[in-house]
Amino acid sequence: MSNLFQVGAIDACNGLLPIVKVIRKGVFPLFQIGIPILLIILGTIDLGKAVISSDEKEVKSAQNRLIKRFIYAALVFFVTTFVSVVMNIVATGATDDANTTGWESCWRAAGK
């Protein structure tokens, strides 16, 4: 059954399964995890520099930037989940079942 699913998924991807796998297993995790971590690290470095300089105004400014970066990090983290949910809703609500089923099976095959 698994082999049959793979053959159908390759057909559904029209030969793009390797590219879809790179996006699903490489680009999405990098975007979802790497960018928020980078934002938080950069914010922490900015705050550390401001604390070392002992300038109260600079510390307040760095705190505000750190809070904004935490918010941006959370938004970036959830944007991939949001896009996946929206795409699944569109796929199940579309009237052209052949194309949406192909997209969905291709995306699932790329996740394995």
Query: What six digits make up the tokens of 23?
Result: 């996006």
Does residue 63 have a pLDDT over 90?
yes
| Alpha-carbon span 64 to 77, nearest angstrom | 20
Residue 40 tokens read as: 């938080």
pLDDT in tens, 15-53: 888 888 888 888 888 888 999 999 999 999 999 999 999
Question: Residue 109: pLDDT above 90?
Answer: no
Please state, in angstroms and as integers, the Cα–Cα distance from residue 5 to each residue in 12, 37, 88, 102, following that order: 10, 36, 19, 11
Give the model confidence (pLDDT) of 64-98 as tens digits. Answer: 999 999 999 999 989 878 887 887 777 666 655 55
Q: How confident is the model at residue 5 (pLDDT cuts 50, 70, 90)?
A: very low
List CB contacts of 55: < 8 A, sequence separation 6 or more: none
pTM: 0.69
